[in-house]
Chain A
Amino acid sequence: MLLGETKHPRRKISASLALLSALSLILAGVLVTLYEEQLYRAQKFQEIGVQGQILGASVAAALVFNDAKTAQEYVTALQANPELEAAGVYDEAGRRVAGFARSDTDPPPERAPAVTSYVANNRIYAVLPVNQGGAAVGAVYLRANLDSFGRRLVRYGGIILLVSMGVLVLTVSGSAQRALTLANTRLESQARQLAASNLKLQAEMQEREKAEEALRQSQKMEAIGQLSGGIAHDFNNLLSIVKGNLQLLQRRVAQGRTDIQRYLDSANEGVTRAANLTQRILAFSRRQPLSPKPVYLSQLVANIDDLLRHSVGDTVRIEMKLNADWPVLCDANQMENVIINLAINARDAMPAGGTLTIETANHPPSHSRMPSGDCVALTVRDTGTGMSEEVRQKAVEPFFTTKPPGRGTGLGLSMTFGYVRQSNGDLIIESELGKGTAITILMPRYVTESIPVNV
């Protein structure tokens, strides 16, 4: 509002400036015209005076010798000047001896008027003495008509035209300026609105990031919850193994037998497996930034084989086709999470059971959808319900889920996609309704030379 208020005076100033310029231009035009008119009159006045002097000099001798005929000849010759309306020649006694007047105009006076020159009624009157040898011998009278107003207007047409054009240009530029100022004001207000909404958007984005972070955490907890059932059972089994072997060991020791190595080994193995399992859970739940390291995906999948089997349950058969032997650069823990997430998704897509296939393969450039070159592809394939094209399009959108409320966050694939892209990879979803879904993670092949030595 404050900005808007400061705009108006400027517009007013430029408009009044244009008006002022136009007015001063018109004033200048009028002044120039008046000046020209003055100049024209002065010039004509002088011209008529000179003509009177010439006539006086010409008729001097004729006046001295009373030669009216010759005087008349000179006066008649003056008729060639269209501006002259009347002329008269007077002798020493003031009698008119020669003269002429155009039709419809007054004849020159009968008696010589007093010597004078003046402008009146748009006419120049000039009465000049005729001198010869230092003595006045008579007088001449000239009456000239100045141009009619119309003719003078035509004469000043150039100035009028110029002034009109100037005023026109000023008017046009003034209105253009006003339109521009208006457009500028509108643009500025739009820009202000944009800035405000941008600020709002940024705030929203920050809020969403926070929410996403919280959700990610809660999803991890959800995954842990899902895992914990199977893990508890597994852990119990392992504990049973350890406990059983320890009991057997106790009995054998009580009997004084020495063939106890088998039980010790079995118990040890159970403890090791339990420790491994605990490690996995800790790793899964740990909050940690991405720390990419060279990883062999086939090995990584093989390592979490147990976890996967616990995650998907008994109804789903797992097949492994681990053929990739190129390393990739990624955060191993996150990659494990991603794979477990995908496996859980696959399980959810097969409520009646089915086959989950996890494949890894080297992906030479010719087959690659990545532009950079060699890749390693990791595919999680299920034989479940599949997705419609519409769902497939939206699958990686945050908060999009087809699971019932309370079951899914809608962030699993979204975060997977985000992680893959962050690791310079790509995610491809292929699906067919009723037949199943295949999600492929493409990671660029890690080449040793491109890694700095200190990493």
Chain B
Amino acid sequence: MRRRRILLAVCITALAQASQVTAAAPPESLEYAVKATFLYKFANFVNWPPAAFETPSSPVSLCVLGNDAVAAVVDQAAAGQMIGERPIAVRHLQAVSADSTCHILYVAVNIPSAEAEDAVRGKPVLTVTDTSRATMGKSIVSFVVQDNRVRFDIDDAQAAESGLAISSKLLSLARTVRPRP
């Protein structure tokens, strides 16, 4: 009798936990994995000026500045992925300068983004940050979590300044878009 009660309690708890996993917010690790995946997938919808690449098969350089949960899983997410004929090359940087060869630059949440953003301003670099950071940056793409879904805002005006063309398909997915002038 007593044993059976215990068994029932265990079952209910397990069920409750299972339902929590599906119904409630996605586990944090999943959120970071999604963000890491998005980082390289953006490349599909962004056109860099031809000068940004040496050859048609030159890799897309995905630079990660700093260390956070996203930066930790980027290597795993982008491994073996191709953008057309271009492979993805992930580079972990400690600092960003104007000379850094980056096509996409993710600034981890624990690093003030302004300096890095200023360093690549005017260059064809797609800057990506997360709005969950302490200080707001001026990146072109900003991750937002809304309704338990990872979404993003796009500053198309700044993308235009940087010489980047973002596909309208991507823009249509964005939560908000600051249109180019």
Chain A residues proximal to chain B, CB less than 8 Å? 57-58, 60-62, 64-67, 69-70, 132-135
Within 8 Å by CB of B169, from A57, A66, A69, A134, lies: A57
Known: A66-B34, A67-B173. A61 touches B45 (CB 8 A): yes
Interface size class of B (residues with CB under 8 A): 10 to 19
For B84, what are the chain A residues with a Cβ–Cβ distance below 8 Å? 133-135
In the A-B complex, the 5 residue pairs with the smallest Cβ-Cβ separation, listed nearest first, are A61-B169, A133-B44, A134-B84, A133-B84, A61-B173
How many A-B pairs with Cβ below 8 Å? Answer: 35
User: A135 near B82 (CB under 8 angstroms)?
Assistant: yes
State whether B173 touches A65 (Cβ < 8 A). yes
Residue ranges of B at the interface with A (Cβ–Cβ < 8 Å): 34, 38, 41, 43-45, 82-85, 149, 151, 167, 169-170, 172-173
The distance from the CB of B82 to the nearest CB of chain A, in whole angstroms, is 7
Contacts A65-B38, A133-B44 given; does A60 touch B169 at CB 8 Å: yes
Taking a contact as CB atoms under 8 Å apart, the answer to whether B41 and A65 are in contact is: yes
Whether A70 lies near B173 (C-beta < 8 A) is yes
A65 to B43, CA, bound (A): 12
Assembly CA distance A134 to B86 (angstroms) = 11
Residues on B with C-beta less than 8 A from A67 are 149, 151, 173
Q: How far is the CB of A204 from chain B (nearest CB, A)?
A: 109
What's the Cα separation between A70 and B168 when bound, in Å? 14
Instruction: Specify which chain B residues have a CB less than 8 angstroms from the CB of A60 in the assembled complex.
Output: 169
The complex places the Cα of A67 from the Cα of B41 at a distance, in Å, of 13
Q: How far is the CA of A60 from the CA of B170 in the complex (A)?
A: 9
Q: Which residue of A lies closest to B169 (CB)?
A: A61
Q: A66-B34, A132-B44, A133-B44 are in contact. Are A61 and B83 (CB under 8 A)?
A: no
Q: Which residues from chain A contact B85 at a C-beta distance below 8 Å?
A: 134
Residues in A neighbouring B151, C-beta threshold 8 A? 67
Across the interface, do B44 and A64 meet the contact criterion of CB distance under 8 Å?
yes
The answer for the CA separation of A132 and B43 in the assembled complex, in Å, is 11
Q: A59 to nearest B CB, angstroms?
A: 9
Q: Which residues of A contact B149 (CB under 8 A)?
A: 67, 69
A134 and chain B: residue at smallest CB distance: B84
A70 to B41 CA separation, bound complex (whole angstroms): 17
B residues in contact with A57, CB < 8 Å: 169
B82 touches A61 (CB 8 A): no
In the complex the two chains form, what is the Cα distance from A134 to B84 in whole Å?
5
- Cβ A133 vs Cβ B83 within 8 A: yes
Q: How far is the CA of A201 from the CA of B78 in the complex (A)?
A: 122
Give the complex CA separation of A386 and B113 in angstroms: 156
- C-alpha gap A57/B84 in the complex (Å): 16
Interface core residue of A65, A66, A69 (most chain B CB under 10 Å): A65
Q: Given A133-B83, A133-B84, A135-B82, are A61 and B34 also a contact pair (CB < 8 Å)?
A: no
State the Cβ distance, A65 to closest chain B Cβ, in Å. 6
Which residues from A are CB-within-8-Å of B173? 61-62, 65, 67, 70
Contact partner of B172 (CB less than 8 A), chosen from A70, A132, A133, A135, is: A70
In Å, the complex CA distance between A133 and B83 comes to 6
Give CA–CA (A324, B82) in the complex, Å: 145
Give the shortest distance, in Å, between A84 (CB) and chain B (any CB): 21
B169 neighbours in A (Cβ, 8 Å): 57-58, 60-61, 132
Nearest Cβ in chain A — how far from B123, in angstroms?
22
Q: CA of A132 to CA of B41 in the docked complex: distance in angstroms?
A: 10
Alpha-carbon distance between A85 and B178 when the two chains are bound, in angstroms: 37
| Most A CB within 10 A of own CB, among B44, B83, B84 | B44
**Complex Cα distance A67/B172, Å?**
11
What would 16 A/B residue contacts be, using CB atoms closer than 8 Å? A58-B172, A60-B169, A61-B172, A61-B173, A64-B41, A64-B45, A65-B173, A67-B149, A70-B172, A132-B44, A133-B43, A133-B44, A133-B83, A133-B84, A135-B82, A135-B84
Chain B nearest CB from A113 CB (Å) reads: 24
Q: In the complex, what residues of B have CB within 8 A of residue A70's CB?
A: 172-173
Question: Which residue from chain B places its CB closest to the CB of A73 in the assembled complex?
Answer: B172
What's the minimum C-beta distance from B135 to chain A, rounded to whole angstroms? 26
Q: How far is the CA of A132 from the CA of B173 in the complex (A)?
A: 15
| Bound complex: CA A58 to CA B84 (Å) | 19
Contacts of B41 in A (CB 8 A): 64-65
Instruction: Name the B residues within 8 Å of A135 (CB-CB).
Output: 82, 84
What residues of B have a CB within 8 angstroms of the CB of A132 in the complex? 44-45, 169
Closest to B85 in A: A134
CB distance from B72 to the nearest CB of A (A): 21
CB-defined contacts of B34 to chain A, threshold 8 Å: 66
In the bound assembly, the distance between CA atoms of A135 and B41 in angstroms comes to 12
Contacts of B44 in A (CB 8 A): 64, 132-133
Q: Smallest CB-CB separation from B83: which chain A residue?
A: A133
Kindly list chain A residues whose C-beta atoms are within 8 Å of the C-beta of B45: 61, 64, 132
Shortest Cβ distance from A60 into chain B, in angstroms?
Answer: 6
Considering the complex, give the chain B residue whose CB is closest to the CB of A68: B149
Complex Cα–Cα for A132 and B45 (A): 8
